[in-house]
Amino acid sequence: MKNTKKIVMILFIALMTAVMAACGSDSANGNEAKSENGEEGLKIAIVTSPSGVDDGSFNEDNYNGILSFIEEHPTATVKAVKEETGDPAAAVQAVADIVADYDVIVTPGFQFAGISSIAVENPDKIFILNDSEPAPVGDQTDFDNIYAMNFAEQESGFFAGMAAALETKSNKVAVVNGIAYPSNVNYQFGFESGVNYVNKVFGKNVEMVELSGYAGTDVTGADVGGNYAGSFADEATGKVIGNALIKQGVDVIFVAAGGTGNGVFTAVKEAEDDVKVIGVDVDQFDDGVNGSENIVLTSAVKFMAMNIEKTLNTVEDGTFKGGNVVLYADTDSTGFIKEEGRHQLSEDTLNKMNEAYELVKEGTIVPASNFNDHTPEEFPGL
């Protein structure tokens, strides 16, 4: 079943990008910087979804990885390009429009899967794709000039589920997602796995609340349940979902919905009851400030900036190697925020989560994901 689902997902990606227009000739130029001997550094571009590189979340973390690289390599430059629609064909065309002017192009997001066609036409350019595998070109699925990184979001989601289940007082928790892309379903299934783990191992009876009418459908057409807004940029719907969950007694909400999640944050900040959120992708503690209080319990994170910087270093030193990789806790690429002052977990919860982290890292616990054939009710380690 795993292979069948994988094939369906690849066909879906290919279909999404089949309408991509031919490469354009317009270009966007970044500022040039030269070393003392006159040599120019890497010319880097990052093309993002409509939320841009200052979204405080997914895109910004990718951008921060580039900025960290530039701090160590001052002759390198970066140009940020915002694709305004989020449409896969338009996203890929935005890359095509600038490819001639840059050495490396970073593309964060599932909608950029179709850059493989551009990569084939531009073998001298390097592409860093985050959150997707490249769409096949004929029979080719791996590309020497594309480093496609995916993260095991189900691991980070698992820790969000544990945190929610261990800290809830109402025994009702929920996850709110944007669109049922594989990464979002991974977060959802991981969260549900974490709640079920706490219920079984620590004897709790925590309920996961799902609202009628918001179930997600993944890229294979399967109903995955959950609370899906259908958009990553719909704050109004996010607030509606947040308020509805709070009305049903939910007191911890894991928010994996991009800009839509801002509406959930607003609903929680305006709630009369004590409700907390769990951030996603990056440390969102600062976004949780609510007067003298903070609504963020912790954040389930993917350490994207670190891996973007690592990859750029391989380009710089000549050891770059293309490929499709999934990054797990064993490379410290997934996890949760536990630094003092950046979370509100109790000491007991933190200890239990740290113990579970080691079990995830060694592979004893394998949370369910969209395509690993495990379910939130039955997975290794439960």
Sorted by where each starts, the structural domains of the chain and their CATH numbers stand as 2-151 (3.40.50.2300), 153-301+334-362 (3.40.50.2300)
* Residue 102: Cβ-neighbour burial (10 angstroms; 0-12, 13-18, 19+): buried
Task: Give the model's pLDDT for residue 55.
Answer: 81
- What is the reported pTM? 0.84
What pLDDT, in 10s, does the model give residues 33-63?
554 545 789 999 999 988 889 887 889 999 9
What pLDDT, in 10s, does the model give residues 327-381?
999 999 999 999 999 999 999 999 999 999 999 999 999 999 999 999 999 999 9
What pLDDT, in 10s, does the model give residues 314-331?
999 999 999 999 999 999
pLDDT greater than 90 at residue 382: yes
Q: Are 169 and 367 in contact (CB under 8 A)?
A: no
Q: Which residue has the higher pLDDT, 8 or 359?
A: 359
Q: Mean pLDDT, to the nearest integer, of 273-288? A: 96
Comparing C-alpha atoms, which of 104, 98, 118 is closest to residue 43? Answer: 104
Q: Which residues, listed in sequence order, are joined to residue 175 by a DSSP beta bridge?
A: 254
Comparing C-alpha atoms, which of 267, 266, 288, 271 is closest to residue 279? Answer: 288
Listed in sequence order, the DSSP H helices in 168-277 are 182-201, 235-247, 261-270
- What angle (nearest 5°) sits at the alpha carbon of residue 21, between those of residues 19 and 22? 135
DSSP 8-state secondary structure symbol assigned to residue 340: T
pLDDT greater than 50 at residue 15: no
Task: Give the model's pLDDT for residue 233.
Answer: 83
pLDDT greater than 90 at residue 78: yes
